[in-house]
Structure 1
Amino acid sequence: MLLDAASLYFRAFYGVPTSITTPDGRPINAVRGFLDMTARLLTAHAPDRLVACWDDDWRPAFRVEALPSYKAHRLAPDGSEEVVPDDLSPQVPILVDVLAAAGIDRVGAPGYEADDIIGTLATRADRPVDVVTGDRDLFQLVDDARGIRVLYTARGIGDIELVDEAVVTAKYGIPGRAYADFAVLRGDPSDGLPGVAGVGAKTAAALINEFGDLAGIRSAVQRTVVPRPPLTAAVLKKIHAAANYLDAAPVVVAVAKEIDLPPIEGALPRTPADPAALAALATAHGLESSLKRLGAALGWPADAVA
């Protein structure tokens, strides 16, 4: 099980009231929610390995260089960093410390997003993989033959949608592994990905079904003399006009699958890695109940979290 950590702690922050606080009154809702979600996932799906995948760089330079609009709408006014709610920022280092003390592997890589960690670990995996995320971009990793599916949290952790190739086809009318090219064509405003102007989901799906992939579509555009659906004269004009975008966007959308990462075991901790540190964190931040639920899901002894 690969957790898209930022996706989950943002979801926890917005899904759990900020009235959930530490003993000294600071919001701790994102950490509590993240731990409770993880416990529920472990109980429901019983993975034998678990990795929290981290954004060491939420807006990597190679993606911005290819497409400057990538996530630009999320930048602070001075352009220096991502806008994060004031009550969330201080909770992230606490979560880092809790994961370390619990013994749950947390993996990032300089210059890459969690998506790229997930793509690399899923590609390496010698067993089925569940990717937990609220980000549709990771639908591109779905692979029935290798047992890679997405546990999609858009409706909340209590109503997870299991996304396999059939679900991608049912949602978007495209082959199950064609999501990345579909996203390039249609665009995704949440990531600052404009798409091909005037080409919506229906036309994007028709083009992929007719020509197989983005390379096939662009080749057909160059060959077409007499327009015919789905390459009508209007669509041909739109794709020609978007040539520069279509050169750049695949670099932005495609999840990296070959990051140079060390071997990652992801073994489930059967006892906390640092019981004293975990107990101190539980007391300082009011995390006792959430850590007991996590411990129960991991099979820890009842007294592992004092």
Structure 2
Amino acid sequence: MSEQRLMVLDSASMYFRAFFGVPEVLAADGTPVNAVRGFMDFISRLVGDYRPTHLVCAWDNDWRPQWRVDLIPSYKAHRVVAAIPGPRPDIEEVPDPLEVQVPVILEVLDAFGICVVGADGYEADDVIGTLATGASMPVDVVTGDRDLFQLVDDKAGVRILYIAKGVGNHERVTDEVVVGKYSVLPAQYADYATMRGDASDGLPGVPGIGDKTAASLLLKFGDLRGIIAAATDPESAMSPGPRRRILDAADYLEVAPTVVAVARDIDLASYDATLPSAPRDPALVEALAERYNLDSPVKRLTAVLAG
């Protein structure tokens, strides 16, 4: 029997990539399905290449949790659809031709019996962090999001399959890769990202602290707590420039680590992550394939699951 291995998919990262990377394809009723087809083919390729025994599609039940916004109001603010009246102002700006495909993706995953896990009040990143931290087997996390580099842990068998350059050209990110890219350990990556900031997430970072300075401070003082302690100690070896910048950013640094760090211990509903060897509901899969012009990707995924 092959070694058990869990693959966790950052679902939104993948279906956005499929939508923008796969040419437009329409179902008979005119529904666009390029993201559905691309997402299915991504799963087929990854399962075929890595042969996980368990697979979870991590889902964004809340792409912009209020508790993170309360700490840093600018968090993902630029992605919010402007001027939405009523009780739901925090709606992510998603292209209409993609938005109609997300429910179809969920229908297809359910028909195949592929596990989807989300948690109310949390992002997919938090689901991934919890699954990767609590797994009793090696874990491959598939994502295009560098924030998840904080989960890399060679000893625990957690690595990132980084798809920023495409699923077919992904990079296996291990401890060595993180150190080589950023000169910090994976365990330091969240603190590094906190100081550096990330415009794509609306995180301002510490003004004047770039990649190199953030890495050098972590090398010297270990973690953000050590850096702040050194900045407040006039006898420490921290130079005046970084000291002033760290002290000036005290309010930001008090809350940002909680926003940047993925949750690792959230309560998840019971789930079965076992990768099916055949579709759970073959008749429904066949009906979806006919309705949404998915015949080829359905055949590919069915064949890969059969091994």
TM-score, length-normalised on structure 2?
Answer: 0.94
Alpha-carbon offset, residue 24 of structure 1 = 2.6
Q: CA–CA distance in 2 between the matches of 1:173 and 1:189?
A: 21
CA distance in 2, matches of 1:224, 1:292: 66
SS in structure 1 opposite 2:9? strand
1:112 deviates by 0.5
Residue type at the aligned position of 1:260: D
Could you report, residue by residue, the CA deviation over 1:83-116 in whole angstroms, capped at 9, with x for unpaired residues?
A: 0001100000000110000000001011000001
Paired residues for 1:21-170 under 5 Å? 21-78=26-83, 79-170=89-180
Q: Does 1:17 align with 2:27?
A: no
For 1:95, the aligned partner's letter is: I
Which residue of the partner structure matches residue 10 of structure 2? 4
Report which stretch shifted further, 111-120 or 255-264. 255-264
| CA displacement, residues 20-61 of structure 1 (integer Å, 9 cap, x when unaligned) | 111233211101000000100001111110000000000001
Aligned with residue 192 of structure 1, among 202, 211, 219:
202
Partner deviation per Cα, 1:61-102 (whole Å, 9 max, x = no partner): 111111111000000012431100011000000001100000
Find the partner of 2:278 among 264, 271, 278. Answer: 271
Contact 1:4 1:53 in 2 (8 A): yes
Within 2, Cα distance between the matches of 1:267 and 1:247?
40
Per-residue Cα deviation, 1:238-283 (whole angstroms, up to 9, x for no partner): 1111000000101111111111113433111122111221111110
- Which letter maps to 1:116? D
Instruction: Note the residue ranges of structure 2 that are not aligned, 5 or more in a row.
Output: 1-6, 84-88
Tell me the distance in 1 between the aligned counterparts of 2:111 and 2:148: 29
> How far apart, CA to CA, are the structure 2 residues paired with 1:211 and 1:265?
42
Distance 1:123 1:153 in 2: 21
Per-residue deviation at 1:224? 2.8
Runs of 4+ in 1 over 3 A off after TM superposition: none
Number of residue pairs aligned between Structure 1 and Structure 2: 296
Percent identity between the two aligned chains: 54
Asked whether 1:259 is paired with 2:266, we answer: yes
1:240 maps to a residue whose letter is L
**Matched-pair contact (CA < 8 Å) for 1:181–1:250:** yes
Q: Give unpaired runs (5+ residues) of structure 1.
A: 301-306
Q: More deviation in 145-154 or 288-297?
A: 288-297
RMSD: 1.1
Give the secondary-structure state (helix, strand or coil) at the position aligned to 1:146: coil
